[in-house]
Structure 1
Amino acid sequence: MRKDLTLKKHIPRTKLATKDGLRSMLAQYGMVYVKPTRGSQGRGVMKMEKRKAKPKYSYQLGLKKSTFTTYTAAYRAIHKDMKGKRYLVQKGIRLLKHKSRPFDIRLMVQRAPQGGWEATGTVGRAAHPRKIVTNGSQGGTIYSTVHLLKKYAGPARRKRLLKQMDRLALRTAKLLRRTSPGIKELGLDFAIDGKLKPWILEVNTVPDPCPFSLLADQTMLRRIVRYGKAYGKTYSLKCKKAKRGK
């Protein structure tokens, strides 16, 4: 994906979370996310910041928040939480917020029954009040995309943004299908920054459409299920921890 010049502009810089790699990314961006190379549903994702004020370093994993005066101490703690697994460090994108809670947008793309790729739905996910990840399985709250974006953009600007996200998602799907021709669906997680630029945070090859079942309007869910059925996929649609936004 990073070789595609269009997509590259919308993918946060990422490198292996070695001691030196994490230090250099913190120095450059001030805030980063540290995430397992193999993970799902937001498990194991950490947020780390370098601040001008003391204590200079802070990081959060789940509900646990820690601060440190030196980078060595901070890395020692975060390395312990990695539990010997490979992690990546990603440039931190400061997400838009709803009721002081960061949110992102999940966008589904699927193979259409008539052939080709189609963007079949978007849903907004706001983080648990005391967590950094937006996943429903981590206590996130589900909202319609329009509900979350209307504070930041009028109808015309929202429409342009959503079309841009659709184009990026479809471009991603077509690119990945070249090397993985069996792919039938993807779930892309988009961060939207303060300038309303969309960033691709994650690309999920086994997306769970459960959050769509919590929307008042079930049109997108019905389409997702229908398209999935056409290529032999069924969904449980059981949201155990996600909440419906009010």
Structure 2
Amino acid sequence: MNGDQVKTPTLGITVCKTRGTPPFHETAYFKQLTREGQKLGIRVIVFCPKDVDWARRSVSAWRYSVRRGQWIAACYPLPMLIYDRCYYSNTRHYLEYKPYVNKLATDPQIRLLGRPLGGKWQTYTFLAEDPDLRPHLPETRCLTTMQDLYTILGRYRSAVIKPNGGSHGQGVAAILPGKDGIRVRGRTRSNQTFDHRLANRSQMEQWISRFTHGSRYVVQPYLPLCTKDGRPFDVRILMQKGERGDWVQTGMAVRVGKPQTLTSNLHGGGKAVKAEAFFSRHYAPELRTHILEKLQWLSTQVPIRIESRHGRMVEVGLDVGVDPQGRVWLLEVNSKPGRSVFLLTGEKEIRRRSIELPMRYARALLDGQVGGSL
């Protein structure tokens, strides 16, 4: 490491290793962060938490050279500011990385751009404490025993089970009892759609045990969050910190799935459309106004509520469902949101701003212009 490497303000991005060169996902996004960082005098490096040399406080990392158009591996001082973009495929994967990530998060010389959230259950428990937010939260239980599932089925007739960690719609299944047995449909962990008929509860329990094996799950009511022609949809709202440390809504778009599928995720073949155009097409004017007002209200309240309990955040993605009666449901809060939805809607300016804001916030933190707890 030379003197310039030590002096240069640096944002480190943590990732889970994959196969390939460079050995991580989201390379296009990290290239864009690098270009934005250049304008602000910030170097961006990408590394795996397992590759930190704590004795030397250095790390083997990758840096994208804009001039050369390629990724370069080198050793750098351990950055003082870190942006967590680690994605875990299951509980085992998460536990494998947990000690390394925790060591970074608890080091007194390191600041996190924002603390990653826990799973769906942890997020639900503290959001449900807010009486104003609670009506917008589907009842959620940890799927610890089959009785948790039967409790939801007893109250709502149908249920959906989801991995406690982020899933892109993968590993999600709807449980739909009927006169001729039980229907289970959804997506596998490898993103394959399925639709099975099970004869009885015993078969259902065996199937769920295999399906959820090795991962923590939650169970919720199955809500009819789809268009009149059977296309599932949800609203992605991206909230980010600006350079002054205040929350701003970067963008809002609707993700629409294929007819008769369970989820609207883009990874599962869904498409993205602009929010106002979608609601104008599918809802009457008064109901549309009510829905959009509720979406705006949730976007302002949820980040503040989460941050008050969880610690500093840099961005959150809110996934919101709307039922045929216009009731608005907060389905998920993601501390590591994607941005591709805005490219697919053609809103390139929103996409550009979604990359610019985290870097401006990082610059403000490096300069001491915004504070907040670690």
Aligned to 2:186: 61
Give me the whole-angstrom Cα distance separating, in 1, the residues matched to 2:205 and 2:138: 22
Aligned to 1:22: 149
Shift of the alpha carbon at 1:138? Answer: 1.7
The alignment covers a number of residue pairs equal to 231
What's the RMSD between the two structures over aligned residues?
A: 1.9
Which digits, 9 at most, give the CA deviation of each residue in 1:131-167, with x for residues without a partner? 3111111211111112322233245543432232121
Give me the whole-angstrom Cα distance separating, in 1, the residues matched to 2:287 and 2:349: 23
Aligned to 1:10: 136
Matched, 1:73 2:203: yes
Aligned to 1:105: 235
> Which of residues 30, 37, 48 in structure 1 aligns to 2:175?
48
CA contact (8 A) 1:107 1:123 kept: yes
SS in structure 2 of the partner of residue 191 of structure 1 = strand
Is the deviation greater in 148-157 or in 102-111? 148-157
Query: 1:216 is matched by which residue type in structure 2?
Result: G
> Which of residues 245, 251, 264 in structure 2 aligns to 1:115?
245
Task: List gaps (5 residues or longer) in structure 2.
Answer: 1-126, 188-192, 364-374
SS in structure 2 of the partner of residue 97 of structure 1 = coil
Give me the whole-angstrom Cα distance separating, in 1, the residues matched to 2:359 and 2:284: 35
Higher relative contact order (CA 8 A, sep 6+): 1
Give me the whole-angstrom Cα distance separating, in 2, the residues matched to 1:30 and 1:219: 44
Q: Rg bigger for which structure?
A: 2
SS in structure 2 of the partner of residue 6 of structure 1 = coil
Give percent identity, aligned residues only.
Answer: 25
Shift of the alpha carbon at 1:40? Answer: 2.4
- In 2 relative to 1, CA 154–226 (structure 1 residues): closer, same or farther, beyond 3 Å? farther
Matched, 1:146 2:273: no
CA contact (8 A) 2:186 2:263 kept: no
Task: List gaps (5 residues or longer) in structure 1.
Answer: 234-246
Give me the whole-angstrom Cα distance separating, in 2, the residues matched to 1:9 and 1:64: 32
Which digits, 9 at most, give the CA deviation of each residue in 1:96-139, with x for residues without a partner? 32643111111111112333212221111112346311111121
The TM-score, its normalising length taken from structure 1, stands at 0.86
SS in structure 2 of the partner of residue 121 of structure 1 = strand
SS in structure 1 of the partner of residue 313 of structure 2 = coil
Which digits, 9 at most, give the CA deviation of each residue in 1:174-220, with x for residues without a partner? 01112333211100100101111110010000000111111133343
> Which of residues 337, 346, 355 in structure 2 aligns to 1:225?
355
Is the deviation greater in 211-220 or in 104-113? 211-220
Give me the whole-angstrom Cα distance separating, in 1, the residues matched to 2:349 and 2:287: 23
Query: 1:72 is matched by which residue type in structure 2?
Result: S
Is the deviation greater in 213-222 or in 162-171? 213-222
Give me the whole-angstrom Cα distance separating, in 2, the residues matched to 1:47 and 1:224: 33
Pairing of 1:204-219 with structure 2 (within 5 A): 204-219=334-349
Query: 2:358 is matched by which residue type in structure 1?
Result: G
